[in-house]
Amino acid sequence: MKRITLILLCSMFMGTGYSQVIKFDNGVAVNSLIGDDFDLFFNKVTSYSGLVGLEYFERKWFYLSSEVGYLKLGGKENGTIDGVPTRDEQTWNYGQINTSFRARVVSRKTEFYAGTGPYANVLLGSGAFDKALYDGYSAERINWGFKAELGITQNINRIRVGVNCTYLLPVSATVKSQYTNMYSRSLAFYLSLGYRFK
């Protein structure tokens, strides 16, 4: 996991020398947790997510996009445990770094793209659950996976505005315990504002 985080960081810093666009993405993420053996916190929670990034190594049909930012992962529990009703919500703050390969089609000043690539989430703070009922469960310090995205951008002189939809597909568990492992599902929608250097 540390190796993937290092690769993502290196690709982002390498891109700064060849950057063509710097951008800021703000939006909302819809999250839940899915368990290996049974589900806890599988109902969705909605939260803010923000990213700053670079677009670089730009070619006619593709380019690379790297971002670093913030999101929340977690979910809601609306059910029963040992006959006791639960209405609990559990979330954790994460810093994220990602890099994606974007294939694009350009029509005048409008661009449509589809991208995919790895991401790594790093826990900000404690991974503990809020209630003693969930003792034995803990969020992992780092989780990673792959993201898929679709988007559209419009260039207005050097300003780039856009809309992006991102889905995070986890490879490593977000939460581990002796009972089950849980994996985050995150669907996010962003409004993007960027500046083109060349």
pTM of the model: 0.85
| Sign of the torsion angle spanned by Cα atoms 122, 72, 152, 105 | positive
Sign, CA torsion 47/52/55/56: negative
DSSP label at 127?
-
Rg (CA), the chain: 18
Q: Note the pLDDT of residue 17.
A: 47
Instruction: Provide the pLDDT for residue 19.
Output: 59
Contact in structure between 45 and 29 (CB atoms under 8 Å): no
Q: Which pLDDT does position 99 carry in this prediction?
A: 95
Of 38-42, 61-65, 102-106, 138-142, the poorest mean pLDDT is in: 38-42
- Both tokens assigned to 195: 């500046």
What residues does each domain of the chain span? 2-196
Question: Which CATH class name applies to 2-196?
Answer: mainly beta
Cα–Cα distance measured from residue 72 to residue 20, given in angstroms and rounded to the nearest whole number: 29
